[in-house]
Amino acid sequence: MTSEYLDGVLAIERVSFPTPWTRHSFLNEIYNNNFAYYYVALAGRQVVGYAGMWIILDEAHITNVAVHPHYRGRRLGELLLKVLMQEAVRLGADRMTLEVRVSNRPAQRLYERLGFSRAGVRKGYYNDNREDAIIMWRHFFEENGLGTGNYYSGH
Supply the residues annotated as catalytic.
Answer: 99, 111
Q: Is 133 helix (H, G, I), strand (E, B) or coil?
A: strand
Beta strands in 57-105 (DSSP E): 59-67, 95-101
Report the largest interatomic distance among the alpha carbons of the chain, rounded to a whole angstrom: 50
DSSP 22: P
Which secondary-structure segment (H or E) carries 76? helix 76-90
First to last CA, the chain: 28
Give the Cα separation of 4 and 6 in Å (integer). 6
Whether 47 and 40 have beta carbons less than 8 Å apart is answered as yes
CB atoms within 10 A of CB 60: 27
